[in-house]
Structure 1
């Protein structure tokens, strides 16, 4: 693996974030969901207008993992009212750590997580939290290895399918 650099994303990176998001979501979840549900989710969650709004939101931060000039993953963080659920001013939500399948197991996810941890510490957050699909054991193990514990569950709508996410947190 070449050197991985984590850089803050802006609206200029819209298409990079969009491409990585769609590609990694398909790689990770297509086998477990209907084509119709996947299509609905991808169209809604990675549309130009939605991603532009998210990239412009001062309470959301995006970071892209670059291997030389090739994007291989990204991180999305939320604070304040941008958080998907808790909206606790003391918390930082990790909404997404997406890594291309070609780079799984190569520490890209760990580098993105460490960036989230650095941001949380700089912002004096009390804890990090996230939701992870109960049928994604690889991700659950990753977060447990990094000190997260389950504290609740919530429903994640994947198209018309209601799926259960495990909510996890790590105190800082």
Structure 2
């Protein structure tokens, strides 16, 4: 009897460990809510991107490159074009204040490309970034995707640590010519998903 109880408890613990390894759980003391970008809230995207990029990239990119990339990637036409092509754009509000955003899509090769995951610095290290990443990984699993991949600036040590902590592996180094004499010098990171 006693030995059976121990085995039963051991199995419960092992199952819990297995579940917890799949995705990092999040407990928050704020109210986060994801809003799909549409014609009513699209005007929030570019100003939010501008604020976050000026925090995130101030020591990594020139101000001219930051401005160029925000104008290129976050204008309403570009965002709408992505939405029309089944890409997902979401604004994250925390306690009803726009605080971050996601942009991701299911690729033809059955992987999910996480194009953008950004959060205001004031909300970082609270588990909110984890919540955002979990959302994309959950989406990938729902779609039976084999992996989630993303690009990250080679000098963005904080983001690289975050991705590696979450099981992403550095797959390759790549340089992208984005026009106007600018390049993006990135690593490609990927997290393979177990079926």
If the length of structure 1 is used for normalisation, what is the TM-score? Answer: 0.87
Shift of 1:68: 2.2
Q: Does 2:144 align with 1:117?
A: no
Structure 1 vs Structure 2 CA RMSD: 1.7
For residues 95-134 of structure 1, the aligned pairs below 5 Å read 95-134=115-154
Contact 1:72 1:100 in 2 (8 A): yes
Output the CA distance in 1 between the equivalents of 2:36 and 2:117: 14
- The 3-state SS of whatever aligns with 2:30 is coil
For residues 1-172 of structure 1, the aligned pairs below 5 Å read 1-58=29-86, 60-80=87-107, 88-157=108-177, 160-172=181-193
Output the CA distance in 2 between the equivalents of 1:129 and 1:104: 21
Aligned residues: 164
Shift in alpha-carbon separation, 1:157–1:89, aligned structure 2, 3 A: same
Q: Tell me, which stretches of 5 or more residues in structure 1 are unaligned?
A: 81-87
When structure 1 is superposed on structure 2, of 138-147 and 36-45 the one drifting more is 36-45
- The 3-state SS of whatever aligns with 1:51 is helix
Output the CA distance in 1 between the equivalents of 2:82 and 2:102: 13
Output the CA distance in 2 between the equivalents of 1:98 and 1:147: 19
More relative contact order in 1 or in 2 (CA 8 Å, sep 6+)?
Answer: 1
Q: Which runs of 4+ in 1 moved over 4 A?
A: none
Output the CA distance in 2 between the equivalents of 1:140 and 1:35: 22
Contact 1:20 1:98 in 2 (8 A): no
Q: Rg larger in 1 or in 2?
A: 2
Output the CA distance in 1 between the equivalents of 2:83 and 2:167: 28
Output the CA distance in 1 between the equivalents of 2:176 and 2:58: 16
